[in-house]
Structure formats: structure tokens, C-alpha cells
Amino acid sequence: MPYENIIVETRGQVGLITLNRPKALNALCAALIKELGQALDAFEADGEIGAVVLTGSEKAFAAGADIKEMQSKTYMDAYLADFITNGWERITTCRKPIIAAVAGYALGGGCEVSMMCDFILAADNAKFGQPEITIGTIPGAGGTQRLTRAVGKAKAMEMCLTGRMMDAAEAERAGLVSRVIPAADLLDEALKVADRIASMSRPVVMLAKESVNAAFETTLTQGIKFERRLFHSTFACEDQKEGMAAFAEKRSPVFKNR
């Protein structure tokens, strides 16, 4: 499928999506979001693909929703089109793991898209922020919610009220990103991590993802119960037998469901 705003490639068992609107610092226009959804649909349906990496350029992962496209929207335009929910949430419904490999600016919708992914690997030049307040609006793709859950109220509130950006080191200290990597090595490392995930049992990876995500939606007691049920269900999967047999036999497992 020809894409205009993203580049879609496969690297073995990993799907790679590169946001590609360099002149607008990968601002997330409606056409880009639609293409991103189509690419995720294709990777989700592709049995060869076990994980996805979403990245941008060295200067910008994405500098936010496209301000020029949205500046003249009316309330009715926004409400009727369910602006921001519509299309963007596709990232959060993907059952295969998505790693955000973030270099440069991840601002506004860019920060929000990175937080919709399962985890963020950040280049040492990454900058995260919710600067919507500086243009007379507030985050509209989960920024006030996901950032607060990731870094806590104090930092999230300061960032949303002032538009202050967080650099990669601060983002790692605050728990927004899993690791910081030299910018030149970011994509290689993200692909390596995605390949490792893709080499595990596919259904078990999905169960693990589902269970971690449940931690954000449930009480601890409910979450523990949910985890326990999923844990029990892995014992019905031949890959659990293979994984544990391989450990006991001191060899590498060969997972069938991949």
C-alpha cells in the first residue's frame, strides 16, 4: 500500500513504521493518523510479525497534532468527528507489542502517541512535553491521563500547566521511558528489543501485555486475580511446556506459536 506520511518496512519478524513528514516535524495530520492505523492493521494481520517499532526522525518523533490543520476547527467539527479519539486510539487497541523509539521532539500529540505505545525507548536527545497550554488548548489524546499515571501528579501538572519539556534523562528518572540510548544507536536497539519480543511465544506475549495494561484499569485485588487467571491459562499453551522443558534440558526453547 502506498503511504505518503509514513514509511512502512519489515525487518524480519518486526514491523517498522517511521513517521515521515519532515517538513512539519512529523506533525500528526489526519492523513498520517489514518495511514498509521492502516499500517497497524496490516501488521496485526500479518502472522510473520511479532512486534512493531514506531519511530520518527532524529529531530522529531512528532511535534504534536497538526496545528495548522486544526486551528480553524469549530466545536461542532471537533465533537462530531470525535477529534483525536477517532483513529488515534488504534495504537492502544493493537494486540501486538508496539515500542516507541523516540528521538528529538515528542510534543503534544507526539508525546501522547509515544505513551499509547507499550513502552518508550528514548534517544539521549529526546524531549517530551505537553505544550498545548501555550497554544490555548489542553492535551486531547490522553496527555493529562497517561502522563500523570507515568510520572505522577507533580511533574505532569507542571508540564501541562507550563508546557515545560522534559529531557531524556529526566524522563528516564521519572519513569516515562524504559531506557535512554545514544541517538545513533536508537533504531538498532529498538529493533533488537522488538526482535527479542517477537522471538517469544506470541500468545504468551499478548497475555503479558494484556496483564500489565490491566494494572491501569483495575484495583490491585482485581488485577492480581486477572493476572492469576492469565498465568493459569499459559499452562494450556504448548509453549509453556516447551519453555520449561528447554530450561530443564539446558537448551534454547523452540516456541511453536510464533
- DSSP label at residue 24: G
Q: How far apart are CA 19 and CA 33, in angstroms?
A: 10
According to CB under 6 A, which one of 140, 203, 243, 253 is a site residue for ligand CAA?
A: 140
Of 15, 50, 104, 109, which one is the catalytic site residue? 109
Q: 10: Cβ–Cβ under 8 A, 6 or more apart, which residues?
A: 16, 46, 48, 49
Helices assigned H by DSSP within the chain: 30-45, 67-70, 75-80, 85-88, 90-93, 109-116, 148-151, 153-162, 168-174, 186-198, 202-214, 220-234, 238-248
- DSSP label at residue 185: G
CB-CB contact of 28 with 109 (8 Å) = yes
Choose between 143 and 253: whose C-beta lies nearer to ligand CAA: 143
Residue that is written with C-alpha cell 485485588 in the block: 221
Q: Contact between 66 and ligand CAA (CB under 6 A)?
A: yes
Report phi then psi at 178, rounded to 5.
-80, -35
- Please calculate the CA angle 32-146-134 and round it to the nearest 5 degrees: 70
Choose between 8 and 106: whose C-beta lies nearer to ligand CAA: 106
**Three-state SS letters, 68-131:** HHHCCCCHHHHHHCCCCHHHHCHHHHCCCCEEEEECCEEECHHHHHHHHCCEEEEECCCEEECH
According to CB under 6 A, which one of 52, 63, 180, 186 is a site residue for ligand CAA?
A: 63
According to CB under 6 A, which one of 1, 4, 45, 68 is a site residue for ligand CAA?
A: 68
Clarify whether 249 is annotated catalytic.
Answer: no
What character string, x for contact with ligand CAA (CB under 6 A) and - otherwise, covers 83-122?
-x--------------------x-xxx--x----------
Restricting to residues 115-134, name those near ligand CAA by CB under 6 A. 131-132
Residue 158: CB minimum distance to ligand CAA, A: 17
According to CB under 6 A, which one of 27, 53, 115, 151 is a site residue for ligand CAA?
A: 27
Of 35, 132, 172, 227, which one is the catalytic site residue? 132
160-170 burial string, b = 16+ CB within 10 Å, else e?
Answer: beebebbebeb
Q: Contact between 64 and ligand CAA (CB under 6 A)?
A: yes
Q: Contact between 174 and ligand CAA (CB under 6 A)?
A: no
Clarify whether 37 is annotated catalytic.
Answer: no
According to CB under 6 A, which one of 7, 78, 81, 135 is a site residue for ligand CAA?
A: 135
Count of residues touching ligand CAA (by CB under 6 A): 22
Choose between 10 and 145: whose C-beta lies nearer to ligand CAA: 145
Q: Contact between 24 and ligand CAA (CB under 6 A)?
A: yes
**Footprint on this chain of ligand CAA (rule: CB under 6 A):** 24-25, 27, 63-68, 84, 105, 107-109, 112, 131-132, 135, 139-141, 143
Q: Which residues are catalytically annotated?
A: 65, 109, 112, 132
